[in-house]
Amino acid sequence: MFCFQCQETAGNKGCTVQGVCGKKFDVARAQDLLIYVTKGLSAVTTALRAEGKPVAAEVNHLVSMNLFITITNANFDRKAIEKRITETLACRDALRKDLSDASKLPKAATEEIPESAYPERAAEVGVLATENEDVRSLRELITYGLKGLSAYTKHANALLRENEEVDRFLQEALAKTLDDSLTVDDLVALTLETGKYGVEGMALLDGANTGAYGNPEITEVNIGVRKNPGILISGHDLKDLEMLLDQTQGTGVDVYTHSEMLPAHYYPFFKKYPNFAGNYGNAWWKQKEEFESFNGPILMTTNCLVPPKDSYKDRVWTTGCVGFPGLKHIDAPYGEVKDFSPIIEQAKQCPPPTEIETGKIVGGFAHAQVFALADKVVDAVKSGAITKFVVMAGCDGRAKSRDYYTEFAKKLPKGAVILTAGCAKYKYNKLDLGDIGGIPRVLDAGQCNDSYSLAVIALKLKEIFGLDDVNQLPLAYNIAWYEQKAVIVLLALLYLGVKNIHLGPTLPAFLSPNVANVLVKNFGIAGIGSVEDDIELFFGKE
Ligand code: FSO
Ligand code: SF4
C-alpha cells in the first residue's frame, strides 16, 4: 500500500505497511481499486455527456459515495469496499453499452477485473502507478479535492438537492486524472477549476442545510450531561441527525452531538427537540476515551471513526459512507427514512453518560448571523477595537504539534478575532478568550463545509469596506488541515483569490517540491513557524 492523503501520514511521507489512521494494508489496496474503477466509470459518464446523453442521479451518487468512502477515517471494511467495486464495474459496463463510440475510452473504463483479481489489480493502480512525481502530486491533489467535494455533494443529496453541473465536473476531472496527455500546466489549471467547483459544492450544501434547517444563529451549547440514557451522534450528516431526533421523541433517550456534529445546535430547526441535550466531548481523535465514558450507543454518520476498542465496540453503529468490520450498519436509499430503532433500544439498556466537563460553548456565526451583526463588526473595526480577523478553520488531530493552535489563540493580541469552522475549533473553543464589545473572540461558523460561510463573510466585508481585493482586508489565514475535505476548502479559497494562507501543522506530503513551489509563488502558501514568530508575522512587533 501507499497512502499519503492525510496530514498524519507516516513520517510525513506515506503509510506503507498500515495507516497511522488504522487502515490496514488490504483495505488501503481495496480503496485504491475503488478509486480506479470510479475513475473508469467517470470516463464513461463523461463520454456519455459528450454525446449529449444524460447521466442518472443514481450514477452521480454512486461516484460521490465511492469517493467519500475513501476519505480518511470513513471506511475500514474491505468487504464493503469490494462490494462497491463490483457494483461500480457493473454500472460502468452497463453504461458503456449506451455509447455510440467507446473507442477512445481509457483502460480503466474498459478492462475486465474479475473479483478474484481485485487484490492483484489493486496493487498496480495505486498512487505510485504515476511515475512522474509532479504529475502524481497534481493528480492526487485534484483527487483529494474531489473526495472532499463528494462529501459535500453527498450531504446535499441527502437533503434531496442536486447540482448536475458539479457532478459533471467531478466526473470529468476524475477521468482527466487518468489522461496521460495532460501536462503539468493542464493539471494546475484543473486544480484551480476544482476549487471553483468546490465553491459551488459548498454553496449547494449551504443552501440545502439552511433551506431545510434555517440559518444558524448565536447559540449556547451545553457541554455537560443530563440524567437520561443518551445516543451520541458524530460526523457531519444533518439528515441523519434529523431522523434520529424524530425517532427518539418520547422514548426517554437523549441525543448528544460529538465533534463535527456540534454545529447542528446552531440551526433553529433542531431547537424544537426537547431531548437534543448538548455536545459531548471534543474533536474526533479523542473518541477512544470519550466513547468509553459516554456509556451509550454512538452513531457515526461520516468520516472520523477511529478503530474502536473492544470495550465499547458493540455500542458503535455506522451509516452512510462509514464502515468497520463487526460494527452494525444501518442505511436506506436517499430520501427514505433510516430505521434507527435498534440503536434507541440499545440506548435504553445503557447507563446515562458520565459527565466529563460542564459549561457552555457559543457558536452559530455563519454568514446570515454575521451579516446581522455587520454594523457592530464594522464599527468595531473602524474604532480599532478589532484589529484583525484570523481564519483558523480546518481540522484537529492527534499530533502534539497541534498544541501550536491553542498557544497561538492564547497569545493573539487582544484586538484579534478568530473565525473558525471544522473541528480545528476544539483547540481553543473552551478557552475563555472573552469578547470585543459583545462580539465573541471566537466566531464559529460551523462544520468544515461552513468554511464557505467564512468566504462569504470575507467577500461581504470587502464590499462594505469598498476594497478591490479580498486580500486587502485585515484578515489572516492560519488553517489547520487533516483530511481531504480540508483540501477542497483550500482549493476553494485559492479559487476565490485568497493569498498567503498558512497551512499546518505540516504541509501536505502529496505536494512535490515543484508543485509546492507553484503554490508558494502564485498564492503565497506557507507553513507555520513558532507561535511567537507567527504572531509577529501576522500582527507585527507589539
Ligand atoms: Fe473530520 Fe475535522 Fe469535518 Fe475535517 S472532524 S477533520 S476538514 O474538520 O472535516 O471531518
Ligand atoms: Fe496514512 Fe492518512 Fe492514508 Fe491513513 S489516510 S493510511 S494515516 S495517509
Closest ligand by atom to 20 CA:
2
Say if residue 35 is in the same domain as residue 149: yes
pLDDT tier, 18 (very low <50, low <70, confident <90, very high otherwise):
very high
Q: 482: CA distance to ligand 2 center in Å?
A: 10
Distance linking the first and last C-alpha atoms of the chain = 49
pLDDT of residue 541: 78
Closest ligand by atom to 237 CA:
1
Pick the last residue of a domain from 290, 320, 348. Answer: 348
Mean pLDDT on 36-53: 98
Map 277-332 to HEC letters. EEECCCCHHHHHHHHHHHCCCEEECCCCCCCCCCCCHHHEEEECCCECCCCEEECC
Give the DSSP letter string of 20-33. Answer: TTS--HHHHHHHHH
Report the phi/psi class of residue 61: left, alpha or beta, with left for phi > 0 and alpha for psi in -120 to 50: alpha
DSSP letter (8 states) at residue 355: P
Say if residue 202 is in the same domain as residue 328: no
Alpha-carbon distance 511 to 487, whole Å?
12
Q: 397: CA distance to ligand 1 center in Å?
A: 9
Burial of 86 (C-beta count, 10 Å sphere; 0-12/13-18/19+): middle
Query: Does residue 1 lie within any of the structural domains?
Result: no
Say if residue 226 is in the same domain as residue 196: no
Query: Does residue 281 lie within any of the structural domains?
Result: yes
Query: Does residue 4 lie within any of the structural domains?
Result: no
pLDDT tier, 542 (very low <50, low <70, confident <90, very high otherwise):
low
Say if residue 202 is in the same domain as residue 224: no
423 contacts 450 by C-beta, under 8 angstroms: no
DSSP-based three-state secondary structure for 461: helix
Say if residue 427 is in the same domain as residue 468: yes
Say if residue 533 is in the same domain as residue 488: yes
Say if residue 153 is in the same domain as residue 192: yes
Pick the last residue of a domain from 323, 348, 373. Answer: 348
Ligand 2 within 6 A of CB of 147: no
Query: Does residue 123 lie within any of the structural domains?
Result: yes
Report the phi/psi class of residue 273: left, alpha or beta, with left for phi > 0 and alpha for psi in -120 to 50: beta
Alpha-carbon distance 19 to 54, whole Å?
39
Say if residue 202 is in the same domain as residue 324: no
Burial of 513 (C-beta count, 10 Å sphere; 0-12/13-18/19+): exposed
Number of domains into which the chain is organized: 3
Ligand 1 within 6 A of CB of 423: yes
Query: Does residue 273 lie within any of the structural domains?
Result: yes
Cα-flanking dihedrals φ and ψ of residue 424, to 5°? -55, -25
168, pLDDT greater than 90: yes
Cα-flanking dihedrals φ and ψ of residue 241, to 5°? -60, -45
pLDDT of residue 117: 98
17, pLDDT greater than 80: yes
Report the phi/psi class of residue 315: left, alpha or beta, with left for phi > 0 and alpha for psi in -120 to 50: alpha
Query: Does residue 355 lie within any of the structural domains?
Result: no
What's the mean pLDDT when you consider all of the chain? 97
pLDDT of residue 163: 98
> Mind listing the pLDDT tens digit for each residue in 273-321?
999 999 999 999 999 999 999 999 999 999 999 999 999 999 999 999 9
Query: Does residue 5 lie within any of the structural domains?
Result: no
Mutate to test the pocket of ligand 1, among 144, 258, 304 (most ligand atoms within 8 A of CB): 304
Bridge partners, 475 (sequence order)? 389
Alpha-carbon distance 409 to 420, whole Å?
11
Mutate to test the pocket of ligand 2, among 4, 73, 305 (most ligand atoms within 8 A of CB): 4
> Mind listing the pLDDT tens digit for each residue in 397-455?
999 999 999 999 999 999 999 999 999 999 999 999 999 999 999 999 999 999 999 99
Strands 360-363, 219-222: pairing kind: antiparallel
358 membership: H or E segment, kind and range: none
Atom of ligand 1 minimally distant from the CA of 482: 6
Higher pLDDT, 334 or 252: 252
Q: In one letter, which amino acid is 441? A: R
Say if residue 326 is in the same domain as residue 275: yes
Say if residue 53 is in the same domain as residue 192: yes
74, pLDDT greater than 80: yes
**Residue 102 sits in which domain range?**
10-212
241, pLDDT greater than 80: yes
Alpha-carbon distance 428 to 260, whole Å?
15
Say if residue 392 is in the same domain as residue 317: no
Alpha-carbon distance 64 to 436, whole Å?
42
Q: In one letter, which amino acid is 511? A: L
Query: Does residue 357 lie within any of the structural domains?
Result: no
Atom of ligand 2 minimally distant from the CA of 20: 7
Q: Where are the alpha helices (DSSP H) in 70-163?
A: 78-96, 107-110, 118-122, 133-158
Q: What is the largest CA-CA distance in the chain?
A: 69
Chain centre to alpha carbon of residue 113:
31
Share of the chain above pLDDT 70, in %: 100
Query: Looking at residue 137, which CATH number applies to its domain?
Result: 1.20.1270.20
Pick the last residue of a domain from 185, 212, 239. Answer: 212
Query: Looking at residue 274, which CATH number applies to its domain?
Result: 3.40.50.2030
Mean pLDDT on 335-349: 97
Mean pLDDT on 477-483: 98
Q: Which three cell numbers stand for residue 485?
A: 475535505
DSSP-based three-state secondary structure for 219: strand
Say if residue 416 is in the same domain as residue 320: no
Helices 184-213 and 484-495: angle between axes, nearest 10 degrees: 100
